[in-house]
Copies of this chain bind each other. A is one copy, B any other.
Amino acid sequence: MAQKNTLLTISEQTGYSVSTISRVLSGKAKTYRISRETETLIKEAAQRLNYQPNLIAQTLRTQKSNTVGLLIPEVDNPFFASLAGIIIGILHSRGYHVLLADSRESARDEVQELRMFMSRSVDGIICIPVSSTPDFHEHVSSQIPMVLIDRHFKKTSLSYVCTDNYAGSRMATEYLLDKGYKRILAIQGVPDSMPNKERVRGFVDAIGVHGVDYKIAGNAFSVENGNREILAAFSGGREYDAVFAFSATILLGAIDALRRLNLRPGKDVGIISYDNNGFLDFMDPAVTRVEQPLREAGKVAVDTLMEIIAARRAGHPDPASRQILIPPTLVVRGSC
Protein backbone atom coordinates (compact mmCIF):
# COMPACT_ATOMS: atom_id res chain seq x y z
CA MET A 1 0.00 0.00 0.00
CA ALA A 2 2.24 2.70 1.34
CA GLN A 3 4.53 3.74 -1.45
CA LYS A 4 7.48 6.05 -1.54
CA ASN A 5 6.10 9.15 0.02
CA THR A 6 8.41 12.11 0.23
CA LEU A 7 8.15 15.51 1.77
CA LEU A 8 6.91 16.64 -1.61
CA THR A 9 3.93 14.30 -1.41
CA ILE A 10 2.97 15.68 1.95
CA SER A 11 3.50 19.17 0.67
CA GLU A 12 1.07 18.59 -2.18
CA GLN A 13 -1.48 17.01 0.13
CA THR A 14 -1.38 19.72 2.76
CA GLY A 15 -0.53 22.74 0.72
CA TYR A 16 2.40 23.62 2.93
CA SER A 17 5.88 23.98 1.59
CA VAL A 18 8.42 21.24 1.76
CA SER A 19 10.54 23.20 4.17
CA THR A 20 7.72 23.62 6.62
CA ILE A 21 6.97 19.92 6.47
CA SER A 22 10.59 19.10 7.05
CA ARG A 23 10.83 21.39 10.05
CA VAL A 24 7.72 19.98 11.65
CA LEU A 25 8.68 16.37 11.10
CA SER A 26 12.17 16.83 12.41
CA GLY A 27 10.83 18.38 15.56
CA LYS A 28 11.99 21.89 14.84
CA ALA A 29 8.52 23.37 14.81
CA LYS A 30 9.06 25.72 17.76
CA THR A 31 12.44 27.00 16.66
CA TYR A 32 10.97 27.95 13.33
CA ARG A 33 7.73 29.32 14.69
CA ILE A 34 5.32 26.94 13.01
CA SER A 35 1.83 27.31 14.45
CA ARG A 36 0.51 24.51 16.53
CA GLU A 37 -2.39 23.75 14.22
CA THR A 38 -0.17 23.58 11.17
CA GLU A 39 2.05 21.26 13.10
CA THR A 40 -0.63 18.76 14.01
CA LEU A 41 -2.09 18.99 10.55
CA ILE A 42 1.21 18.06 9.00
CA LYS A 43 1.89 15.33 11.48
CA GLU A 44 -1.45 13.75 10.76
CA ALA A 45 -0.83 13.84 7.06
CA ALA A 46 2.56 12.23 7.57
CA GLN A 47 0.93 9.56 9.65
CA ARG A 48 -1.78 8.95 7.13
CA LEU A 49 0.62 8.73 4.24
CA ASN A 50 2.90 6.55 6.30
CA TYR A 51 5.79 8.82 5.56
CA GLN A 52 9.28 7.48 6.14
CA PRO A 53 12.16 9.88 5.67
CA ASN A 54 14.69 8.89 3.07
CA LEU A 55 17.78 8.22 5.13
CA ILE A 56 20.05 8.47 2.14
CA ALA A 57 18.94 11.98 1.31
CA GLN A 58 19.08 12.86 4.95
CA THR A 59 22.62 11.59 5.22
CA LEU A 60 23.70 13.41 2.11
CA ARG A 61 22.37 16.64 3.42
CA THR A 62 23.37 16.42 7.06
CA GLN A 63 26.51 14.36 6.72
CA LYS A 64 25.42 12.10 9.50
CA SER A 65 24.07 8.65 8.97
CA ASN A 66 23.44 7.20 12.40
CA THR A 67 25.55 4.34 11.22
CA VAL A 68 28.75 2.87 12.52
CA GLY A 69 31.08 0.84 10.36
CA LEU A 70 32.39 -2.32 11.96
CA LEU A 71 35.43 -3.89 10.41
CA ILE A 72 36.61 -7.31 11.49
CA PRO A 73 39.27 -9.58 10.03
CA GLU A 74 37.06 -12.56 9.26
CA VAL A 75 33.36 -13.14 9.59
CA ASP A 76 33.89 -16.88 9.58
CA ASN A 77 35.99 -16.88 12.67
CA PRO A 78 33.74 -17.53 15.66
CA PHE A 79 35.80 -15.32 17.92
CA PHE A 80 35.45 -12.27 15.72
CA ALA A 81 31.87 -13.15 14.98
CA SER A 82 31.03 -13.26 18.64
CA LEU A 83 32.88 -10.04 19.39
CA ALA A 84 31.10 -8.46 16.45
CA GLY A 85 27.79 -9.71 17.76
CA ILE A 86 28.44 -8.13 21.11
CA ILE A 87 29.42 -4.81 19.58
CA ILE A 88 26.48 -4.78 17.22
CA GLY A 89 24.12 -5.41 20.10
CA ILE A 90 25.55 -2.48 22.02
CA LEU A 91 25.45 -0.20 18.99
CA HIS A 92 21.83 -1.09 18.32
CA SER A 93 20.94 -0.30 21.87
CA ARG A 94 22.53 3.11 21.34
CA GLY A 95 20.39 3.70 18.27
CA TYR A 96 23.06 3.11 15.66
CA HIS A 97 22.83 0.99 12.57
CA VAL A 98 25.75 -1.13 11.57
CA LEU A 99 27.60 -1.66 8.36
CA LEU A 100 29.63 -4.82 8.76
CA ALA A 101 32.64 -5.62 6.63
CA ASP A 102 35.56 -7.96 6.87
CA SER A 103 39.11 -7.50 5.68
CA ARG A 104 39.86 -11.18 5.20
CA GLU A 105 43.06 -10.59 7.15
CA SER A 106 44.32 -8.55 4.22
CA ALA A 107 45.73 -5.07 4.60
CA ARG A 108 44.64 -4.15 1.09
CA ASP A 109 41.06 -5.15 1.71
CA GLU A 110 41.16 -3.36 4.99
CA VAL A 111 42.06 -0.09 3.32
CA GLN A 112 39.37 -0.62 0.76
CA GLU A 113 36.68 -1.30 3.32
CA LEU A 114 37.71 1.69 5.39
CA ARG A 115 37.50 3.82 2.28
CA MET A 116 34.06 2.42 1.67
CA PHE A 117 33.03 3.40 5.18
CA MET A 118 34.24 6.91 4.55
CA SER A 119 32.37 7.31 1.30
CA ARG A 120 29.30 6.04 3.08
CA SER A 121 29.55 8.82 5.63
CA VAL A 122 29.45 6.52 8.61
CA ASP A 123 29.45 8.45 11.85
CA GLY A 124 32.17 6.31 13.35
CA ILE A 125 34.23 3.20 12.90
CA ILE A 126 35.10 0.33 15.16
CA CYS A 127 37.93 -1.71 13.78
CA ILE A 128 39.93 -4.80 14.54
CA PRO A 129 42.93 -3.82 12.45
CA VAL A 130 44.89 -6.13 10.27
CA SER A 131 47.68 -4.07 8.84
CA SER A 132 50.75 -3.44 10.93
CA THR A 133 51.14 0.26 10.22
CA PRO A 134 48.84 2.83 11.74
CA ASP A 135 49.38 5.44 8.99
CA PHE A 136 46.23 4.88 7.04
CA HIS A 137 44.22 4.36 10.18
CA GLU A 138 45.39 7.68 11.57
CA HIS A 139 44.33 9.28 8.34
CA VAL A 140 40.90 7.70 8.51
CA SER A 141 40.61 8.68 12.11
CA SER A 142 41.31 12.29 11.22
CA GLN A 143 38.19 12.26 9.07
CA ILE A 144 35.93 9.93 10.98
CA PRO A 145 35.95 8.99 14.65
CA MET A 146 37.46 5.55 15.05
CA VAL A 147 38.44 3.25 17.84
CA LEU A 148 40.33 -0.01 17.62
CA ILE A 149 39.40 -3.10 19.50
CA ASP A 150 41.12 -6.37 20.22
CA ARG A 151 44.19 -5.44 18.21
CA HIS A 152 46.16 -2.24 18.31
CA PHE A 153 49.33 -0.55 17.10
CA LYS A 154 52.41 0.05 19.15
CA LYS A 155 53.04 3.74 18.61
CA THR A 156 49.79 5.40 17.76
CA SER A 157 47.53 8.15 18.88
CA LEU A 158 44.46 6.09 18.11
CA SER A 159 42.19 5.07 20.92
CA TYR A 160 41.92 1.38 21.49
CA VAL A 161 40.58 -1.11 23.95
CA CYS A 162 42.14 -4.53 24.07
CA THR A 163 42.65 -7.15 26.66
CA ASP A 164 46.05 -7.58 28.24
CA ASN A 165 47.31 -10.42 26.12
CA TYR A 166 50.73 -10.37 27.64
CA ALA A 167 49.34 -10.88 31.11
CA GLY A 168 46.87 -13.51 29.95
CA SER A 169 49.44 -15.54 28.11
CA ARG A 170 51.94 -15.29 30.91
CA MET A 171 49.31 -16.35 33.41
CA ALA A 172 48.40 -19.38 31.34
CA THR A 173 52.00 -20.37 30.80
CA GLU A 174 52.88 -20.02 34.43
CA TYR A 175 49.93 -22.19 35.28
CA LEU A 176 51.32 -24.88 32.98
CA LEU A 177 54.73 -24.56 34.54
CA ASP A 178 53.29 -24.80 38.02
CA LYS A 179 51.66 -28.00 36.96
CA GLY A 180 55.09 -29.35 36.11
CA TYR A 181 54.96 -29.50 32.34
CA LYS A 182 58.43 -29.55 30.84
CA ARG A 183 58.06 -29.40 27.07
CA ILE A 184 55.51 -26.92 25.91
CA LEU A 185 54.26 -26.29 22.41
CA ALA A 186 52.52 -22.99 21.74
CA ILE A 187 50.46 -22.77 18.58
CA GLN A 188 50.03 -19.18 17.60
CA GLY A 189 47.66 -17.29 15.33
CA VAL A 190 48.38 -14.50 12.88
CA PRO A 191 51.99 -13.73 13.83
CA ASP A 192 51.99 -10.00 13.12
CA SER A 193 48.84 -9.18 15.02
CA MET A 194 49.39 -7.43 18.27
CA PRO A 195 47.48 -9.87 20.48
CA ASN A 196 49.52 -12.68 19.06
CA LYS A 197 52.79 -10.87 19.56
CA GLU A 198 51.84 -10.04 23.09
CA ARG A 199 50.86 -13.61 23.81
CA VAL A 200 54.15 -14.82 22.43
CA ARG A 201 55.95 -12.33 24.60
CA GLY A 202 54.03 -13.42 27.67
CA PHE A 203 54.68 -17.04 26.87
CA VAL A 204 58.41 -16.55 26.34
CA ASP A 205 58.82 -14.38 29.39
CA ALA A 206 57.09 -16.93 31.58
CA ILE A 207 59.15 -19.73 30.14
CA GLY A 208 62.32 -17.69 30.46
CA VAL A 209 62.17 -17.65 34.19
CA HIS A 210 61.88 -21.38 34.45
CA GLY A 211 63.92 -22.51 31.52
CA VAL A 212 61.99 -25.44 30.11
CA ASP A 213 61.80 -26.69 26.54
CA TYR A 214 59.34 -24.94 24.30
CA LYS A 215 58.47 -24.19 20.76
CA ILE A 216 56.24 -21.66 19.05
CA ALA A 217 54.64 -22.73 15.79
CA GLY A 218 51.74 -21.88 13.53
CA ASN A 219 50.49 -18.84 11.71
CA ALA A 220 46.72 -18.56 11.75
CA PHE A 221 43.71 -18.53 14.04
CA SER A 222 42.25 -21.53 12.28
CA VAL A 223 41.37 -25.17 12.84
CA GLU A 224 43.66 -26.28 10.04
CA ASN A 225 46.57 -24.50 11.59
CA GLY A 226 46.07 -26.30 14.88
CA ASN A 227 45.85 -29.58 13.11
CA ARG A 228 48.89 -29.04 10.98
CA GLU A 229 51.16 -27.87 13.73
CA ILE A 230 50.38 -30.76 16.03
CA LEU A 231 51.06 -33.24 13.31
CA ALA A 232 54.29 -31.49 12.41
CA ALA A 233 55.48 -31.15 15.97
CA PHE A 234 54.65 -34.65 17.13
CA SER A 235 55.64 -36.61 14.09
CA GLY A 236 59.24 -35.48 14.31
CA GLY A 237 59.74 -37.83 17.20
CA ARG A 238 60.08 -34.80 19.42
CA GLU A 239 57.06 -34.74 21.63
CA TYR A 240 55.59 -32.17 23.92
CA ASP A 241 53.79 -32.74 27.15
CA ALA A 242 51.59 -29.67 26.92
CA VAL A 243 49.99 -27.55 24.24
CA PHE A 244 49.00 -23.91 24.52
CA ALA A 245 46.50 -23.04 21.77
CA PHE A 246 46.17 -19.32 21.10
CA SER A 247 42.51 -19.65 20.11
CA ALA A 248 39.63 -22.09 20.32
CA THR A 249 39.77 -22.75 16.60
CA ILE A 250 43.42 -23.72 16.89
CA LEU A 251 42.48 -25.83 19.86
CA LEU A 252 39.92 -27.86 17.97
CA GLY A 253 42.40 -28.64 15.23
CA ALA A 254 44.99 -29.56 17.81
CA ILE A 255 42.72 -31.89 19.72
CA ASP A 256 41.65 -33.57 16.57
CA ALA A 257 45.26 -34.17 15.55
CA LEU A 258 46.23 -35.43 18.97
CA ARG A 259 43.44 -37.96 18.93
CA ARG A 260 44.52 -39.05 15.53
CA LEU A 261 47.94 -39.69 17.03
CA ASN A 262 46.32 -41.65 19.83
CA LEU A 263 47.23 -39.10 22.40
CA ARG A 264 44.56 -38.25 24.93
CA PRO A 265 44.17 -34.49 25.34
CA GLY A 266 44.25 -33.62 29.01
CA LYS A 267 45.83 -36.89 29.99
CA ASP A 268 48.78 -37.65 27.74
CA VAL A 269 49.14 -34.03 26.78
CA GLY A 270 48.15 -31.04 28.86
CA ILE A 271 45.92 -28.57 27.07
CA ILE A 272 45.34 -24.90 27.64
CA SER A 273 43.70 -22.38 25.37
CA TYR A 274 42.86 -18.79 24.80
CA ASP A 275 39.19 -18.02 24.13
CA ASN A 276 35.75 -17.53 25.60
CA ASN A 277 33.68 -20.04 23.74
CA GLY A 278 31.00 -21.50 25.99
CA PHE A 279 31.50 -24.91 24.51
CA LEU A 280 34.90 -25.20 26.15
CA ASP A 281 33.19 -26.22 29.37
CA PHE A 282 31.49 -29.13 27.71
CA MET A 283 34.41 -30.62 25.94
CA ASP A 284 36.25 -33.78 26.81
CA PRO A 285 37.97 -32.72 28.95
CA ALA A 286 36.67 -29.26 29.83
CA VAL A 287 39.35 -26.85 28.77
CA THR A 288 41.35 -24.64 31.05
CA ARG A 289 41.59 -21.29 29.33
CA VAL A 290 42.16 -17.58 29.37
CA GLU A 291 38.89 -15.72 29.04
CA GLN A 292 38.69 -12.16 27.81
CA PRO A 293 36.05 -9.73 29.06
CA LEU A 294 34.67 -9.07 25.60
CA ARG A 295 31.43 -7.53 26.65
CA GLU A 296 33.20 -5.01 28.79
CA ALA A 297 35.70 -4.29 26.03
CA GLY A 298 32.87 -3.76 23.57
CA LYS A 299 31.12 -1.37 25.92
CA VAL A 300 34.21 0.67 26.52
CA ALA A 301 34.96 0.80 22.82
CA VAL A 302 31.49 1.99 21.92
CA ASP A 303 31.47 4.52 24.74
CA THR A 304 34.79 5.90 23.64
CA LEU A 305 33.58 6.15 20.09
CA MET A 306 30.43 7.97 21.17
CA GLU A 307 32.53 10.47 23.09
CA ILE A 308 34.72 11.22 20.12
CA ILE A 309 31.68 11.62 17.91
CA ALA A 310 30.03 13.95 20.40
CA ALA A 311 33.18 15.99 20.82
CA ARG A 312 33.70 16.52 17.12
CA ARG A 313 30.08 17.42 16.60
CA ALA A 314 30.41 20.04 19.26
CA GLY A 315 33.52 21.34 17.59
CA HIS A 316 35.66 20.36 20.53
CA PRO A 317 39.01 18.64 20.25
CA ASP A 318 38.95 14.88 20.61
CA PRO A 319 39.02 13.55 24.15
CA ALA A 320 42.50 12.40 25.12
CA SER A 321 43.42 9.21 23.33
CA ARG A 322 42.23 6.33 25.43
CA GLN A 323 44.39 3.28 25.28
CA ILE A 324 43.04 0.57 27.49
CA LEU A 325 44.14 -2.92 28.38
CA ILE A 326 41.59 -4.93 30.27
CA PRO A 327 42.94 -7.85 32.28
CA PRO A 328 41.73 -11.29 31.26
CA THR A 329 41.04 -14.13 33.66
CA LEU A 330 42.20 -17.71 33.89
CA VAL A 331 39.38 -20.23 33.99
CA VAL A 332 40.67 -23.47 35.43
CA ARG A 333 39.15 -26.74 34.28
CA GLY A 334 40.52 -30.22 33.90
CA SER A 335 42.61 -30.19 30.76
CA CYS A 336 45.98 -29.67 32.38
Contacts and interface: CB of A to CB of B under 8 A. Distances in A.
Interface of A: 1-4, 52-57, 59-60, 65, 67, 75-76, 78, 81-82, 84-86, 88-89, 92, 97-102, 115-116, 118-121, 139, 143, 223, 252, 255-256, 277-279, 281-286
Contact of A119 (B55, B78, B223): B55
Contacts of A121: 54, 56
Contacts of A118: 52
Contact of A56 (B52, B59, B85, B115): B59
B119 A56 contact: yes
B101 A99 contact: no
A248 to B, nearest CB: 8
Counted per complex, copies of this chain come to: 2
A286 B284 CA distance: 9
B60 A88 contact: no
A101 B98 contact: yes
Contacts of A116: 55, 97
A116 B277 CA distance: 32
A67 to B, nearest CB: 8
A76 B81 contact: no
28 contacts: A3-B143, A4-B143, A52-B115, A52-B119, A55-B116, A55-B120, A56-B56, A56-B59, A56-B120, A56-B121, A57-B60, A67-B99, A75-B89, A76-B89, A81-B82, A88-B102, A89-B102, A92-B101, A97-B116, A97-B120, A98-B99, A99-B100, A252-B279, A255-B282, A279-B283, A282-B283, A283-B284, A284-B284
A103 B278 CA distance: 23
A75 B85 contact: yes
Contacts of A102: 88-89, 92
Quick one: which of A55, A285, A286 has the most chain B CB within 10 A? A55
Contacts of A3: 143
Contacts of A143: 3-4
Nearest to A104: B92
A97 to B, nearest CB: 6
Contacts of A284: 282-286
A236 to B, nearest CB: 25
Which 5 pairs of residues, A with B, have the shortest CB-CB distance?
A284-B284, A279-B279, A75-B85, A55-B119, A100-B100
